Structure 1
Amino acid sequence: MATRARVWFNRHAPHSLLFGQQKQSTLSAVEHAATKPSRMTLATSCLKLLAAVAAVLVALAATNWPMLVRKKDLWMPTRITRNLDKCSVLDTSLFGCEDIVVHGDYAYLACGDPVARDGWYPPALKFNKTTDTTMKDALYAYHVETKTMTRLAIHGYSGDMTLHGLNVFMHPITDASVTPTLSVFVVNHKRTGSCVDIYDHVVGSTDLHFVESVCDPLIRTPNAVAPISRKAFYVSNYLSGPEAEPKTIVLDMMLARRTSDIVFHGDDGTTRIVRQGLRGANGLAVSDDGMMLYMAESMSGEIHAYLRNPDHSLDLAAPPLWLSFFPDNLRLVPDGLAVAGPGAFVADGSGVPTVVAAIAQGKAREMYVDADGILMHGASVAAVHWPSRTVLVGGPVMKGVVACPWIEEGAEVGGETAGEAKEEL
């Protein structure tokens, strides 16, 4: 490229340079000496600029080639609705249940207030801190067998509640006669800054007792939380920092920029980054044996599996699993993971398609697809009550919570086969 550029500049140079013999008489020796080096300097600068641009383009193509190859399938897919006739709305009074986790006989839900969420919800680029809403999102407990939904009463905390990620950790059982207690972890986007709030909850009760708010400069844009003890947890930072302009965050999402990371907060109160350079780190799930941490990288459409080290750092355990949609929250099932997420990018947020998939043995199969995004509007979670094979689907701007049956591989539902397992790309 440099040789061609040099030839082009020589062939198209002014006549005073191409035909110096004929034109030198019109220039004094001093003028000619001053003009020639300046023009050669300009040509050299242009060549250097072209070389630098070419190098940047090559580097971008090399590091983002898989994303470029998959861009059409991931960002502009052709979706066909599948199996929605088996689903129903569980509770029409709920709104914005972005995250759901099942523990034992109960499902715990972090749901939003539609008025508050319209004014202040950082994940959706709504940053109006002057909104007059009281910002009181709510946590619910749903008993799967009796199908009863209970709003949990908060004790010891009265500040902003703008909820996002949710998870639970069961306290060690030392007395079988005592009712189990959970630590409930929630990501709370307060107007004063985003934190991870921790509550204690006696299973079966209607109360949450505030323990502490964990706020740290490294917890910038928290999304999902994965506890490993009563106070220690991993948390994903989804985008650029909280003070970034909306256009910066939009660029993070549109260009799948590596501005995201995973942070670990320990029992000793220290916080540190354990994985960085990620493209929209989102859902997190720790395996039952505590050996693995799974992460949904939304902007690339990938699921990452990390081996947890004794110091809580993370090593990639296998090549990422590529999905045909944008994975959000992850939930464990006996043989793998359940995941939901938007099936396409829709700029105005209306009718966002949704995919619910099962992941096992390095393969993914799509169980439910809402191509119109009406019943499952931009869903973000598919939590599974395994004894009843009930899948609970929610989303940050969804009305109600949708309940669907778990579909086994190869099962016939609604006249369609429930998705062949898709090999890792």
Structure 2
Amino acid sequence: MSEIKVPDLGESISEGTIYKWHVKEGDVVGAGDVLAELETDKVNLEISAEEGGVISAILRQEGENVAVGEAIGVIGEAAGGEAKTPASSAAGSGGEAPAAPAPVPSAPAAAPAPPAAPEPSSAAASGEHLATPGARKLARERGIDLGEVGARDPIGRIAQADVQGHGAAAPAPKPADGGSKPAAAKAPESAAPSGGKEVERKRMSRRRLTIASRLVEAQHTAAMLTTFNEVDMTAILDIRKRRKDSFKEKHDVGLGFMSFFTKAVIGALKAYPLLNAEIDGEDLIIKKYYDIGIAVAAKEGLVVPVVRDADRLSFPQIEREIGELAAKARNNTLSLSELQGGTFTITNGGVFGSLLSTPILNTPQVGILGMHKIQLRPIALDETTTVNRPMMYIALSYDHRIVDGSEAVSFLVKVKELLEDPESLLLEG
């Protein structure tokens, strides 16, 4: 028998949330099989089996917070053994295991009802019950004595599923309308704030909580200010129109806008290096490298993977790197190293139709560029000539503690100039 433990999650991460179990009690697994998915503040990680056997107990349920090194399940030996009797007799059917209420003893003479009677009295009298925090919490909420709950764990530890299984039958007689479903007990609590009207109470994911915390922290710790400008995208659109097919054929990647903006940002950062810095106590750390974060909207929330040494990459290399990182973000396969660091961030709200916004700093960075929707607008070329041009508003949010307004405005003007004259990106980007 071996315990399934939460592995080391990397620097500065001490706990996570069980996002999904890929196995259930009674399932036969082999060494290296993925057992569960763990959600951390930044990425989702898979927990694999260190050895083969049968899942004899799941100690922590989906949605529960767990610490590094904590046991979340138990793998028993596949060949025989009392703990695996229900699974083996079910001929490998994992769905049969939870239905057998009998505790650990495998003797056929022990009927389900009799063992339940002695357990409560002895356990309750001693007050000593092995139980997970989630099980204790659920038992308190439902008013269930842990001494009355049978544990399927071979070592006798009561899991949240055991409490749920015990409580499913107990509340049935109480409601007069026949509502025997566990969810019925939660309805009044979630409906109360809206005066009886229908609402849905949904727990925030760990990543969403982290995003919320960091955004509030950025507003509380930085003197954040935003300046705006607009870019005539005619030249870039013309290049993409003329070159996109040959670019795709040669490099096997599409020519998008992000490579142009990344190059333009790098050129502006070289001219105004304080936008590529961060504050450390009373010191400024001015970075001489350009690791550009690209904000990506993933299912679980916004993430910012980093394109390393972007100043050394060509247009196709930047496009390919951004495409691969975005795909990983949407598939929850980003590694921690791909999210850490970064000296400046670019975010593109234009893909969702945003015409104008004020991006929030990705601390400890002191600058973030916001891109927006390209829209045809009338532009006066001179006193008598007005033409329609594809225009984009761009926004720079910056930390006013170290970046003056004149420097921020000049930085954004530099970005504008480089984008409106794309050939200059070859020289300054």
TM above 0.5: no
TM-score range, shorter chain: under 0.3
Q: Which has more helix, going by share of residues?
A: 2
Q: Which has more strand, going by share of residues?
A: 1
When the two structures are superposed, what TM-score results if normalisation uses the length of structure 1? 0.26
When the two structures are superposed, what TM-score results if normalisation uses the length of structure 2? 0.26
Structure with larger Rg: 2
